[in-house]
């Protein structure tokens, strides 16, 4: 049974991605700050760990890895509090970069010793890495870092046969976005006239990692925004 590590598995796109792998018969190590992932499935192992803590992440992943190792890593956990040059604080800076960038590195490094040729990694960036969203000063910068890390890691890991790609979603119907109350308004300005569902983004994690369709796609970050953002 192939195994995927999915971070942010308790909510939104991480949750949908964990379900997607489980439906396809994969085993899932679901990483989040809570062990309550809202999914009851025998092939799911919740790993409650803060991805900012590198040693704890390494120990948690090592404790959950089955004999066959890890076939895919979906780095989805992320935070997106608004910041501007007037409102940012050191705490916000640390939180955004430590979760979105450092946390992604911690999980990737912890998983790598258990990965072999043919396995793949997907990093979640955002359209905010490519275009300017008002009030997302530090978030956009952190996701631009994820795009570049994806390219660097692709180059570093290609000799080992491990591919690394990114997904940059636009508006997605997640609990965080629903809470803003701005989704219906946002949908009006998206050329396809709607926001994305988490499950359709999860399908792209599958395409890039498990489907066998993306064996020559490496170092790319795919924008999925309903034509809201083109680059």
Ligand X SMILES: NC(=O)c1ccc[n+]([C@@H]2O[C@H](COP(=O)([O-])OP(=O)(O)OC[C@H]3O[C@@H](n4cnc5c(N)ncnc54)[C@H](O)[C@@H]3O)[C@@H](O)[C@H]2O)c1
Shortest Cβ 141–ligand X spacing (Å): 13
Interacting residue with ligand X among 2, 8, 30, 166 (CB under 6 A): 8
Size of the site for ligand X (CB under 6 A): 28
- Asked if 13 interacts with ligand X (CB under 6 A), we say yes
By beta-carbon proximity to ligand X, the closer residue of 116 and 141 is 141
Contact positions with ligand X (CB under 6 A) in 113-132:
124, 126
State whether residue 193 is helix, strand or coil: coil
Contacts of ligand X in 152-191 (CB under 6 A): 169, 171-172, 174-177
Q: Which of 6, 27, 74, 80 binds ligand X (CB under 6 A)?
A: 80
Q: Which run of H or of E encompasses 121?
A: strand 115-124
Structure tokens at 216: 């020559």
Q: Quick check: 65 binds ligand X (CB under 6 A)?
A: no
Q: How far is the CB of 88 from ligand X (least distance, A)?
A: 17
Active-site residue identified among 80, 88, 93, 139: 139
Stretch that binds ligand X, among 11-19, 62-70, 85-93, 114-122 (CB under 6 A): 11-19
Residues 28 and 205: beta-carbon distance below 8 Å: no
Q: Pick the closest to residue 75 from 125, 136, 138 (CA basis).
A: 125
For strands 27-32 and 163-169, give the pairing.
unpaired
Nearer to ligand X, 79 or 92 (CB): 79
How many whole angstroms separate alpha carbon 199 and alpha carbon 194?
Answer: 14
String of DSSP letters for 43-108 = TEEEEE--TT-HHHHHHHHHHH--TT-EEEEEE-------B-TTT--HHHHHHHHIIIIIIHHHHH
Distance of CA 88 to the CA centre of its chain: 24
Stretch that binds ligand X, among 6-14, 21-29, 86-94, 114-122 (CB under 6 A): 6-14
Residue 4 has φ and ψ, to the nearest 5°, of -120, 140
- Selected binder of ligand X within 103, 140, 166, 210 (CB under 6 A): 103
Q: Are 50 and 33 in contact (CB under 8 A)?
A: yes
80 is an active site residue? no
The reply on whether position 140 binds ligand X by CB under 6 A is: no
Q: How far is the CB of 90 from ligand X (least distance, A)?
A: 17
- Binding residues for ligand X, rule: CB under 6 A, are 7-8, 10-14, 32-33, 50-52, 76-80, 99, 103, 124, 126, 169, 171-172, 174-177
Which residues are known catalytic residues?
139
């Amino acid at each position: 049974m192939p195994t995927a590590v999915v971070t942010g598995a308790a909510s939104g796109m991480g949750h949908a991605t964990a379900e997607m792998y489980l439906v396809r018969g994969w085993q899932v190590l679901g990483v989040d700050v809570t062990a309550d992932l809202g999914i009851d499935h025998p092939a799911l192992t919740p790993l409650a760990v803060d991805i900012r803590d590198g040693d704890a992440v390494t120990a948690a992943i090592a404790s959950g890895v089955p004999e066959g190792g890890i076939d895919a890593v979906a780095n989805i956990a992320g935070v997106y509090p608004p910041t501007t040059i007037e409102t940012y604080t050191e705490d916000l800076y640390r939180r955004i970069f430590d979760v979105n960038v450092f946390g992604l590195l911690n999980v990737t490094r912890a998983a790598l010793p258990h990965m072999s040729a043919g396995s793949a990694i997907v990093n979640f960036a955002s359209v905010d890495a490519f275009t300017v969203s008002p009030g997302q000063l530090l978030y956009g910068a952190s996701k631009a870092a994820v795009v570049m890390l994806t390219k660097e890691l692709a180059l570093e890991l290609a000799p080992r046969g491990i591919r690394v790609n990114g997904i940059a979603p636009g508006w997605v119907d997640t609990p965080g976005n629903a809470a803003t109350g701005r989704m219906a308004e946002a949908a009006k300005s998206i050329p396809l006239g709607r926001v994305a569902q988490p499950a359709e983004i999860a399908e792209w994690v599958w395409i890039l990692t498990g489907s066998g369709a993306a064996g020559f796609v490496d170092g790319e970050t795919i924008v999925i925004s309903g034509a809201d953002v083109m680059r």
